[in-house]
Amino acid sequence: NAGVTQTPKFQVLKTGQSMTLQCAQDMNHEYMSWYRQDPGMGLRLIHYSVGAGITDQGEVPNGYNVSRSTTEDFPLRLLSAAPSQTSVYFCASSTLGEIGEQFFGPGTRLTVL
């Protein structure tokens, strides 16, 4: 099992550019989520999904889109990058019955200039 994988590990964008952060898991988990981590603010939930075809907004969804066409993949799209989106992004997954036991990917460090 590879667990939760994320690509890329690092990315630098210019303001206004768009990009997609990839996330995949091979544990057949129904629940997947995206967080951003900023110094002194912990992890904040961006979007989450409870299964293929179902997504919902978290605490800080503005500027981000998600889709869940398969159980395995949960990409996060930045539509028009802004410096405020400079952060470390984590994808996580779990079974629906064990939301608290989330398995995290290694993270993507994004810098928006």
Partner 1 sequence: GEDVEQSLFLSVREGDSSVINCTYTDSSSTYLYWYKQEPGAGLQLLTYIFSNMDMKQDQRLTVLLNKKDKHLSLRIADTQTGDSAIYFCAESVNTGTASKLTFGTGTRLQVTL
Report whether 19 contacts 81 (CB < 8 A).
yes
- Closer of 12 and 79 to partner 1 (Cβ): 12
Report, in Å, the least distance between residue 27 CB and partner 1. Answer: 14
Residues at the site binding partner 1, with contacts judged by CB under 8 A: 4, 31, 33, 35, 40-45, 48, 50, 56, 58, 90, 92, 96, 99-102, 104-107
Structure tokens belonging to residue 76 = 């996060």
Amino acid at 107: G
Beta carbon nearer to partner 1, 48 or 112 = 48
Task: Output 49 or 85, the one with its CB closest to partner 1.
Answer: 49
Q: Are 69 and 52 in contact (CB under 8 A)?
A: yes
User: Minimum CB separation from partner 1 for residue 102, in Å?
Assistant: 7
Cβ neighbours of residue 37 closer than 8 Å, sequence gap 6 or more: 43, 44, 87, 88, 89, 90, 107
